[in-house]
Amino acid sequence: MFDLLIRNATLPDGRTGLDIGITGGRIAAVEAGITTEAGEVIDAAGLLVTPPFVDPHFHMDATLSLGLPRMNVSGTLLEGIALWGELRPTLTREALVERAVRYCDLAVSKGLMAVRSHVDVSDPRLVTVEALLEVREIVAPYLDLQLVAFPQDGFYRCAEAEAALTRALDMGVEIVGGIPHFERTMEEGARSVAALCRLAAERGLRVDMHCDETDDPLSRHIETLAAETVRHGLQGRVAGSHLTSMHSMDNYYVSKLLPLMAEAEVAAIPNPLINMMLQGRHDTYPKRRGLTRIPEMLATGITVGFGQDCVLDPWYSMGTGDLLDVAHMALHATQLGSGADKRALFDCVTVNSAKIMGLEGYGLDVGCHADMVLLQARDPAEAIRLRPNRLKVIRRGKVVAQTAPEVSTLDLPGRPGHVDPADYAPRHAS
């Protein structure tokens, strides 16, 4: 007897007509034609069941603060940082917790159940850290929240940052962050990468740095990050977020850099919505896209996971909590449009990011946590195209969010009475 049985599911790998049996919050069976009884049955009707969406790069201390204390008029990264600096002294733990938990409600409704959030440690009060540690506890039953100690104002550029970052780790923040391109000089940036990797190695922690979030082709901190990863034996535990300077780098240099990243098993976390919005600001025309080299990274075997970075905050007045919006933007910006490409992009918002975060029990195999999402779409390519409703969001075998199917009624002469966007899926593989 299963607690829950999902009938007739299509999985992201293309298998169809499968039933998923769930017992005790774990997946107990994935096969066709299960006859075992179940306490509850959900008919997936051939639609896509995916493991949860995963966001490996977010700022939960800033989310939903758009307009506080004023709007970002220029729309640039640097005005966003300045604006956040104005807001930061006024932040209270209560307000931070309230906004972050409210954001998590939205995330879960979109089938997003794991988030890695950077936490600014530049204000020595560390109210942001206290608040997000509390949020991590509150949301733990329905969302896995990882925290990165992020020296937004620079590890060396801000006098208090080193002590504050160390204290944040002592308080329970589990990942070491950095921002080498924001240090005063290239040399100090490189030194910050070395120091932060050493700190992570000493404490047995993962590393995730904002790295080279600039259009400057000479911003090459990713090279140092890869080298320091190997030096400290941190392979598979380090990520470089953004890496936008790679868009503008010399091709010959990149041909050396990509294998270095692959050798060091440094993961890449592009943030396509933000990168398209914030980069290229000093260009007239042609205007660079400012997104890192995603197709070449995937071809080199580098693990790539897409983040949202921001939702309704000083840097970005958009955002929905929907990782499929991110994949949709990435598809257009990278021109990765084939059927295989779309599958690969879907992995960038699900399994790849779970691997980067080191999530235990993630996936749709027997023994995994019974965490999954039923989408109103027939396959991953259609999911990216439609960004469809999440019909059921399941956490540990329990439905924690649901949305009615999107169906429009029609009143047109000689035409059908309704339109279901999922019915427009091509009947052959693209």
Q: Which residue is nearest to Fe ion (CB)?
A: 309
Q: Which is nearer to Fe ion, 19 or 309 (CB)?
A: 309
Q: How far is the CB of 225 from Fe ion (least distance, A)?
A: 16
Closer Cβ to Fe ion, 116 or 136, answer by number: 116
| Amino acid letter, residue 397 | G
Contacts of 116 (CB under 8 A, 6+ apart): 55, 56, 57, 58, 145, 146, 147, 148, 175, 208, 307, 356, 357
Number of residues engaging Fe ion in binding (CB under 5 A)? 1
213 is catalytic: yes
213, 265, 296, 406: which is the annotated catalytic residue? 213
Work out the angle at residue 234's Cα, subtended by the Cα atoms of residues 162 and 242, and round it to the nearest 5 degrees: 70
Q: What is the DSSP string of 8-53?
A: EEBPTTS--SEEEEEETTEEEEEETT--S-EEEEEE-TT-BEEPPE
**Cβ at position 101, least distance to Fe ion in Å:** 20
- Supply the minimum distance, in Å, between the C-beta of residue 118 and Fe ion: 6
Site string for Fe ion, 305-344 (x = CB under 5 A): ----x-----------------------------------
Can residue 208 be called a binding residue for Fe ion (CB under 5 A)? no
Q: Report CA-CA distances (Å) from 84 to 62, 227, 307, 407, 415.
A: 8, 32, 20, 41, 53
Q: What is the DSSP string of 44-63?
A: -TT-BEEPPEEEEEE-TTTT
Nearest to Fe ion of 120, 382 (CB atom): 120
366, two tokens = 């027997």
Query: Smallest distance, Å, CB 356 to Fe ion?
Result: 14
Tokens representing residue 226 in the block: 């890869």
Between 147 and 381, name the residue whose CB sits nearer to Fe ion.
147
| Residues 271-310 contacting Fe ion, CB under 5 A | 309
- Reported as half-sphere exposure (CB side, CA atoms, 13 A), residue 398 has a value of 6
Q: Please, what is the minimum distance in Å from the beta carbon of residue 310 to Fe ion?
A: 7
**Of 12 and 56, CB closest to Fe ion:** 56
Give me the least distance between CB of 242 and Fe ion, in Å please. Answer: 7
The answer to whether the beta carbons of residues 89 and 123 sit under 8 Å apart is yes
Q: Which single residue is written with the structure tokens 């090279």? A: 223
Between 63 and 334, CB nearer to Fe ion: 63
Q: How far is the CB of 380 from Fe ion (least distance, A)?
A: 26
How would DSSP label each residue in 93-144?
HHHHHHHHHHHHHHHHHTTEEEEEEEEE--STT-HHHHHHHHHHHHHTTT-E
Question: What six digits make up the tokens of 320?
Answer: 């929905």
Sequence-separated (6 or more) residues with CB below 8 Å from residue 43? 7, 8
**H or E segment at 5?**
strand 2-9
Residue among 10 and 241 whose Cβ is closer to Fe ion? 241
Q: Is the dihedral of CA 183, 186, 191, 194 positive or negative?
A: positive
Binding residues for Fe ion, rule: CB under 5 A, are: 309
Catalytic residues: 213
